[in-house]
Structure 1
Amino acid sequence: MTILLTGAGGFLGLNIVEALLEQGLDCVALNDRALPTDFCDRSGLICEVADVRDRSAMAEVLRRHGIRSVIHAAAVTLAPGSALTTVERAFDVNMVSTAILLEEVRKAGIARFVYPSSTAVYGAALFEDAPVTEATPPRPASVYGYTKLASERLVAETAGHFGLSCVRARITALFGPHERETGTRDLMSLPFQMARAAQSDKEVILPEGLRRDWTSSRDVAAALVLLAIAPKLPSDLYNLGLGASWYPVLLARQLSENHPRWHHGIGRADGSDCRLILHDDPTRTRQPLVATKFEQDFDFRFRSPEAACRDYAQWLKTPTAPPTQDIPDHAT
């Protein structure tokens, strides 16, 4: 079975490539630039460099490789004041490419279309008291969230109108192997920033009480592969995340084993003495995604925070881990 993966060179994309190959599946990895060199010669992997918004290129890739399933992971984020992209580009890549690819998938008779979405579609609901399930009404509060929700609805409408087998997966905050600076993500995860600081022996002060449901990128990649190859889909919408929030000191302890001289500590709850870039107000409680439906439908379990932190720390010791980079001082 051959699966087309767009956005293959991104953080999630590289994890999906590995998950597909581990399952013995053939992967056509499409990206707008070459994949890292350590991926290029892997058995079962075909690399294509193309713009996912290029309709003729997408049609040719689908035809030439006999694609049976598509995971459309190509996307760009957009944080307020972004220097990496524009609102126009975010809409173009996140929405227009989805419309183009859906049309070509329909014409080619592809068996399955998997759309990785984001918790950004839930927006303000993430900071309220109720559990965040697939039934939680979307309330995006960012341009990125609006582009992902609009693309989700396009996928659902296309599936309903043409009878395509499509599934949307709302993914929580990720951390783990293959996160690196690519120029398409405005904010790197807090765990990545911690790992980079540890590699540079730069002290990290973590906000007291900060907890989020960071989930292993490897687990989410494996979940997306299951959605791509499942003979039948019990649902067309799933949350993907470990379902529990945890304090990043768990990762700090693992990183300290790799870097014994590195120091970390606990600081003010508001993060005012934290030199890392925080994605949101650390004093606010953010609800973890509830992924019970996916776990039950596919007999799947996301690894615990402790296990995910150990896995990431072990990967950081391998030659494929990203190089050490300096961290700017964001303390006020």
Structure 2
Amino acid sequence: MKIVIFGGTGFVGLNLAEVLLARGHDVTLYDRKQLPAGAERSFADYRERLTVVQGEITDVERIDALVKQGFDAIVLGAAITAGDHLERTNTSSILEINVMAQMPILSTAVRRGVRRVVNLSSASAYGAAGQRYPVLDEETPCDPVSFYAISKFTSERSVARLAELRGGDFLNVRLSAVFGPWERIGKVRDTPSLQFQILADFARGEPALMPGPGIKDWIYAPDAAEAVAVLIEAERPRHRLYNISTGAPWSALQWGEAFAALHPGLECRLAAPGEKTVIELHGPDRAPLSVARMADEFGWRARFGRAESAAAMSAWWTQHKEAI
């Protein structure tokens, strides 16, 4: 298949590109940023099937000209992943990029005959419901609170409604707490995972002091990318919304301890009373996402748990320390 990923040189975009290329697809990455040097080296074997196009997600004419070249699938992955600081300073941009910028792309997809569009949403769309229900499945009523959560929920409903009106084959996926290779922070992403923050402390030669355990249904980025690839390739999905998660909560503290055990001299622990930590939890714990729909329909389940992802990330970190 020929697939274009908008936001393709970002964190999730690069993991998805790596999985899709390994599965034999041709991949185009559209993003305002260039391919990171480390990713360029890692993707060297796929140069003939990988294209990188620099451009703004709001450049309607450029995007239409790109999609006109002919694609089987589009992934909507360009987003401002906002914490409190970006919410206060970039409110309008969050809604513009996470919602409004999608509409011309979706219209272009219908007009140009793109077979499948997958919108990468977030577990944040559940919002305050995450504190009221023991498990969050795709039928759980959402109660988004932050502007980021509101924007992701609105993007889902907008994508679904446009599919009804225009007849597009559009899917929404809610990604749980993602961490792993190629994660980085920047002007459009100020909520790094706890695992990224732990590795940042390690990279500075400091112990990772946790303000709390950080319990979530964390999912390793290559697992999340594999699930999205399954949905891109699916002939006739039975649903229009899918959760992507491990479905099993565990603590980032335990992950950090498992990672540190593989590298003598590293330490991850809870901060003692009065001890300073630079690691931020970014919100309260929430209920895990149900993954029954992905498992029942496609037989997909995450391959990496806490220990497996710590070992895999250790191997990756050894080769890409400059990326953290």
Which TM-score applies when normalising by structure 2? Answer: 0.92
The answer to whether residue 108 in structure 2 is matched with residue 104 in structure 1 is yes
Q: Percent identity?
A: 27
CA deviations 1:34-63 (Å, max 9, x no partner) are 111344443310111111211111111111
Q: Structure 2 vs 1, CA of residues 153 and 83 (structure 1 numbering), >3 Å: closer, same or farther?
A: closer
Partner AA of 1:56 in structure 2: E
For 1:36 and 1:81, how far apart are their aligned partners in 2? Answer: 25
Q: CA deviation at 1:244?
A: 0.9
Equivalent position of 1:16 in the other structure: 16
2:282 corresponds to which of 264, 274, 279 = 279
The CA distance in 2 between the partners of 1:322 and 1:100, in whole Å, is 37
Answering whether residue 265 of structure 2 is matched by residue 261 of structure 1, we say yes
Measured after TM superposition, the shift of residue 268 of structure 1 is 6.2
Aligned partner (choices 166, 171, 174) of residue 170 of structure 1: 174
Deviation of residue 84 (structure 1)? Answer: 9.5
Query: Does the CA contact (< 8 Å) of 2:257 and 2:267 recur in 1?
Result: no
Deviation at 1:208, TM superposition (A): 5.0
Distance in 2 between residues matched to 1:279 and 1:104, nearest whole Å: 36
Partner secondary structure for residue 244 of structure 1? coil
Residues in 1 aligned to 2:89 and 2:97: alpha-carbon distance in whole angstroms = 10
Match of 2:318, SS? coil
Do the aligned partners of residues 322 and 133 (structure 1) sit closer, same or farther apart at CA in structure 2, a change above 3 Å counting? farther
Count of aligned positions: 318
How far does residue 183 in structure 1 lie from its aligned partner after superposition?
2.4
Structure-2 residue corresponding to 1:36: 36
Taking the aligned partners of 1:229 and 1:218, their CA distance within structure 2 comes to: 16
Is the 8 Å Cα contact of residues 178 and 322 (structure 1) preserved in structure 2? no
**What is the distance in 2 between the residues matched to 1:210 and 1:56?**
43
Deviation track 1:170-219 (CA, whole Å, cap 9, x = no partner) reads 11111111101332101111110001111222122334554111111111
SS state of the match for residue 160, structure 2? Answer: helix
Aligned to 1:51: 56
Deviates more, 1:39-48 or 1:10-19: 39-48
The Cα shift of 1:92 comes to: 1.1
Q: Take 1:35 and 1:202, find their aligned partners in 2: how far apart are those partners?
A: 29
Query: Deviation at 1:130?
Result: 2.9
**Structure 1 gaps, min length 5:** 325-332
Q: How does 1:150-229 map to 2 (within 5 A)?
A: 150-207=154-211, 209-229=213-233
C-alpha distance in 2 between matches for 1:84 and 1:311: 36
Are 2:313 and 1:312 equivalent residues in the alignment?
yes
Deviation at 1:307, TM superposition (A): 1.2
SS for the counterpart of 1:57 is: helix
Deviations 1:15-49 (A, max 9, x none): 01101101010001111121113444433101111
Distance 2:171 2:286 in 1: 25
CA contact (8 A) 1:250 1:309 kept: no
Q: TM-score under structure 1 normalisation?
A: 0.90
For 2:296, the aligned partner's letter is Q
Give, in whole Å, the separation in 2 of the partners of 1:80 and 1:209.
Answer: 21
Go from structure 1 to structure 2 and tell me whether the alpha carbon gap of 1:29 and 1:181 turns closer, same or farther (over 3 Å shift). same
The answer to whether the Cα contact below 8 Å between 2:244 and 2:291 also exists between their aligned partners in 1 is yes
Q: Is the 8 A contact 2:79 2:97 kept in 1?
A: yes
The amino acid that maps onto 1:317 is T
Q: Distance in 2 between matches of 1:210 and 1:171?
A: 17
Listed as ranges, the matches of 1:89-100 within 5 Å are 89-100=93-104
Partner of 2:288: 288
Say what the alpha-carbon RMSD is for the aligned residues: 2.0
Name the CA distance, whole Å, in 2 between partners of 1:165 and 1:113. Answer: 6
Aligned counterpart, 1:330: none
Structure 1 residues 276, 157: closer, same or farther in 2, change over 3 A?
same
Which shows bigger deviation, 224-233 or 109-118? 224-233
| 1:139 aligned partner | 143
In the alignment, which of 49, 61, 65 is matched to residue 66 of structure 2?
61
Q: Distance in 1 between matches of 2:211 and 2:83?
A: 21
**Are residues 124 and 272 of structure 1, via their aligned partners in 2, closer, same or farther at CA, if it must alter by over 3 Å?**
farther
**Residue 272 of structure 1: CA displacement?**
7.9
Query: In 2, distance between residues paired with 1:23 and 1:314?
Result: 22
Shift of residue 4, structure 1, vs aligned partner: 0.7
